[in-house]
Structure 1
């Protein structure tokens, strides 16, 4: 009787996890559709890809889409305990570790762009021209790649040639031979987030100072810029929580496996999937020009009255 009860409980657990995986697939599909709509809106009008803040916004959308796709593939492989060769896992690891940070650094760049626009308006055209976007994006990717390069340097120095030919369930632990590797990885990322937080706090107080001294339309525009900086701060907070999630999950795993499954599922949905779509969507809806364009293309040009605004 006890054995039958155990089997029923096991089947119930598998069904529960199964439903969760299906729910994740639905959420990923919805979020990707929304992000692709935002990206399509960006590329449909010349004005957007000739303005620095919109180009940076598109950069976050593209990196978030890539992260959603990669994380979902790894989730499915992990769920079915499917293995892959180490070299293929290495490609997934490089892309995921780099582009998780690309979003965060781009948010910092967008915050600095708002700081220049509000606090240094006479230099905004010079400092935030489209000619400076490509170097800015290259710097963002270079900084994002540093933790990955450190990890890979340790990995290639430690792993044997035969190890690269092995098949494993792909995860970051595959490339971690010593506990101190995780500490180095975490230290670099926390240092990065400290710089980002200082940048956002600095921009916030500078814009706040300008907002208090402004009047009329300038005051309204400045306060809107201040709210944008607060939104970026919230997005970075979610990114920081993502950094802490593996430590929380590892501690919970020592207590109870089922609790670990539940916590991991919750953190993945709340701090990994949702921010990849909701924050960019909120940012897009807050911008008047982008919102009009998004509404126009979402409705397939049904309401022609929006076309006038989009040509300006």
Structure 2
């Protein structure tokens, strides 16, 4: 997710010796490659199963996974760059433009609404929640994210002299976007974004909960499962928020243990920016009965007729 914890990385690069710097970069690269391989297996499973490509729920889920892979890759690359080299403003801004942090929360809101419609408006679900509309929602999410990212660059162009863009910079957001206007814009976006997503999750959860209590039999089981899925989205939202609270966490920990500053910054980066990129897709993918069975079939049977095998396996919708 975002590199807010890199706000102190400049100090880290100056205080770490060569061995410590190599160890930290090696750990980040190893974890990043491992997590991307696991998430890549989920993406491979999605594209091997036609049943998933025709379900908007899985379209939104795989977008979540791909977005996590992109953010993790850019995050690790930027961390390595802070130890090895300085970028000019142009390539740095391009990388920060790719490192959007609003995609996942908005995607989670879309997934929660899809589950709400599937349970509370089942007769309209097939018409409202289509694959084409899922792709349109993804395009809208990326459009909003890029507009917000471009706003940071526009503020930079409006407040900085042209000579400032010719030099090299340590490429992390809080160093590049360091004006008071960026602080106000960042705080406003974070508050509005998470308030919107949180309210969406709460409203959809309460409606699904009411439907689960009123339903009976298989409908009640389906509604209860959808309610648990929305709760899971809440956990995923919390994982997304970790990167935003990491600067405050670093400040508290460094104030308490100032001698462990570099280790605190690096450890916080791993737990708030790297590991959540695995946990969020993993817990959702493992919980989904159909997706996980398909994944295991691909592994065990080496791609031998997975679609035909899946046709005989019952599943409980999420």
- Please report the TM-score for the alignment, with normalisation by the length of structure 1: 0.88
1:84–1:170 Cα contact (<8 Å) kept = yes
- Once residues 199 and 135 of structure 2 are traced to their aligned partners in structure 1, the CA distance between those partners, rounded to angstroms, is 24
Of 44, 51, 58, the match for 2:48: 44
- For 1:3, the equivalent position in structure 2 comes to none
- Once residues 229 and 158 of structure 1 are traced to their aligned partners in structure 2, the CA distance between those partners, rounded to angstroms, is 42
- Do residues 65 (structure 1) and 66 (structure 2) align? no
Of 50, 72, 89, the match for 1:86: 89
- Once residues 300 and 83 of structure 2 are traced to their aligned partners in structure 1, the CA distance between those partners, rounded to angstroms, is 38
Unaligned stretches of 5+ residues in structure 1: 1-9
- For 1:111, the equivalent position in structure 2 comes to 112
- Once residues 186 and 33 of structure 2 are traced to their aligned partners in structure 1, the CA distance between those partners, rounded to angstroms, is 31
Q: How much does 1:16 deviate?
A: 4.2
Larger Rg: 1
1:296–1:307 Cα contact (<8 Å) kept = no
Q: 1:154 to 1:255 in 2, by over 3 A?
A: farther
- Once residues 23 and 240 of structure 2 are traced to their aligned partners in structure 1, the CA distance between those partners, rounded to angstroms, is 27
Q: Which has the higher contact order (CA 8 A, sep 6+)?
A: 2
Any idea what the Cα deviations from partners look like across 1:218-261, whole Å, max 9, x if unmatched?
12111111111011001101212211212333565567654332
- Once residues 305 and 118 of structure 1 are traced to their aligned partners in structure 2, the CA distance between those partners, rounded to angstroms, is 31
- For 1:7, the equivalent position in structure 2 comes to none
- For 1:214, the equivalent position in structure 2 comes to 215
Q: 1:50 to 1:252 in 2, by over 3 A?
A: same
- Do residues 225 (structure 1) and 223 (structure 2) align? no
Q: 1:142 to 1:32 in 2, by over 3 A?
A: same
RMSD of aligned residue pairs (Cα, Å): 2.4
Q: How much does 1:62 deviate?
A: 1.0
1:147–1:189 Cα contact (<8 Å) kept = no
Q: How much does 1:213 deviate?
A: 1.5
Counterpart secondary structure, 1:290? helix
Moved more, 176-185 or 162-171: 176-185
Across the two proteins, how many residue pairs are aligned to each other? 299
Any idea what the Cα deviations from partners look like across 1:86-113, whole Å, max 9, x if unmatched?
10001111111x2x21111111100110
- Once residues 177 and 42 of structure 1 are traced to their aligned partners in structure 2, the CA distance between those partners, rounded to angstroms, is 40
Alignment of 1:252-267 (within 5 A): 258-267=259-268
